[in-house]
Structure 1
């Protein structure tokens, strides 16, 4: 005979009473963009890199207009003047004083005080040996570095990525021919190509741009080829082929969206290398011709006066180093935030 029993609240108690009870964690579903921001913000280095890039871009755009000096304006009598900032000179910092060293000793001077025409003049980064404002010329040169960074990304995305995707997707003889051509191009050093371009063209930004367009995409093409080799035999690609999709549709609409984040990350890693290449070429005299300024040419000119005026070389070196470091930190953060293989379990 079945008996009915009414359970009372006191008939049950929580196991392990008095101890911490394991509770199920509840995860709130977030959008992909919000997940990206969350992961990106956890990488403090990448956030700092992004902030510095934004600051550098701001000064590159507006820095040359923050004072009354032109980038190529030479003022006779204001040569090799130390940095002077109005709101800091009262504290004895950046007041225009500089120390001249010689074999017999050293002497501290202030060219602003000895020059009556420079009493109300302020060179925030100092002036060079021709009396030009280093602050204005530094940010003018930074524009060229940022332009080279933009060219590197565009070349990687449009040339390297397309070349690698086509080579990896079709495979066989097409892949073999394209890879052999790639090895031939990569076998010629970039510096040799730039030198040959300078013989044909004038030394300048056009020669460097063409040189980057000819060789800067090789690394990206190999990455794109490796990525497409992983995906071209997946089920969704086979399904698209079965439905009669064209190769271009499969490559750019089916496969590319799945690997685009990784390719963008790799293109960001190529930016510091492109900036350094341009600065190195300018340093050895194969870059932007005078009187135009780039960070490399500014470093080269300042290096000649390093012993007597070391303040000249500090601004371009510091801006160049921060630019390259910031792009590396940003690329590292993008990799952690966008690469699906690095997602936390």
Structure 2
């Protein structure tokens, strides 16, 4: 069962106020009148990460297109559910949006107990900024040179190897769970309060193994501080052609990439959502925005609302059965 202590902060927010917001009347904002003031783009993580970077890139690009400033506001904690609560408590007129690291957010919402909302309380504006998952990362000077080295020691000494993550239910956590499942090994889970502290722990030798998004690890790879031993998806990466994939190992790929989704309240008028989506689509042609995201290890793709909703459902379908056997304590 989930035991996200931090998430209690989100649950402690006034449930009555949120319930009232969820049940309130739909605003009469028309696309021709939108936007009428500055737009707030919420992010459920601290500044500096992929979600924050994506929000700032989108905010600058969309602000120019919409003719109003887009201000990024970081509301960290509880696997982005605090930010989700803040979005649903705001006026559902399109002037407040939320950028989420999708797998982390879906995981938090579908596995949480007592959360005041569900995924159906949101509408999708668009999806963007994909980044593949690295299935196994070690320090550059680690004794482990291959995946088989890790599996052999883990089987010989069950529970002796430690794996650092950015916390329960994050993409990094599911990378560990997928490795455990496919390799058939027991590994000690060591959760941290975010990807940064987990990386510090790996580099300092406090944990043996990690995984996570390519965007997270790219600076460490470029600095020669870590080595990648496995790609979580079915295919090798063009940037890391010598690293085997799950498919190469005969393992079942799942949750193959991280990506960002832009959300609004489900009560936001469709015409406003369409206007926001059209603005978000400029990522396909904005060379400046594309460069910033690519420099951070993300691919600036665009998914329509329908496409992004379908992808989110696929993630949910993979996470729910995986959570039933995961080390969620």
TM-score range, shorter chain: under 0.3
Greater fraction strand: 2
Greater fraction helix: 1
| Rg larger for | 1
